[in-house]
Amino acid sequence: MDPKKSDVLQGTLDLMILKTLHGLGSLHGFGIARRIEQLSEEVLQLNEGTAYTFLLRLQQNGWIASEWGTSENNRKAKFYSITRRGLKQLAIETESWERISGVIGRVLRIAERG
């Protein structure tokens, strides 16, 4: 595997999907994948089929909802949007992510200074 393109941790991808849906409203799977790719500047290149497993799981948890709609090319597609519970979860995960990344950042800085 390409070393620059890290294997996306499950929790991270959950967070990214939720954040994307929070920012852009209703999106289909393709749109979500494009958006994440774009935002991560192609560093995170996911196996796009896998995203659907994540979507299904998020849906089972009640964090996102889905409904059938029509895509840009006039095909039937499923559109996902964040739910109220999803918003709460997003807040929790954002907070914990920031805390962890803060800690890790500090650790790395200390390590650099030796």
In this structure, what are the phi and psi dihedrals at residue 84, rounded to the nearest 5 degrees? -60, -45
Beta bridge partners of 65: 81
Q: How far apart are the first and last CA of the chain?
A: 31
DSSP string of 73-90, one letter each residue = TS-EEEEEEE-HHHHHHH
Residue 56 Cβ, how far from other proteins at the closest point, in Å? 5
**In the complex, least distance from residue 23 CB atom to other proteins, rounded to whole angstroms:** 20
With respect to other proteins, which residue has the nearer C-beta, 61 or 96?
A: 61
Q: How far is the CB of 113 from other proteins (least distance, A)?
A: 42
The contact set with other proteins (CB under 8 A) reads 28-30, 33-34, 47-50, 52-53, 56-57, 59-62, 71-73, 75-78
> Based on CB atoms, which residue is closest to other proteins, 70 or 101?
70
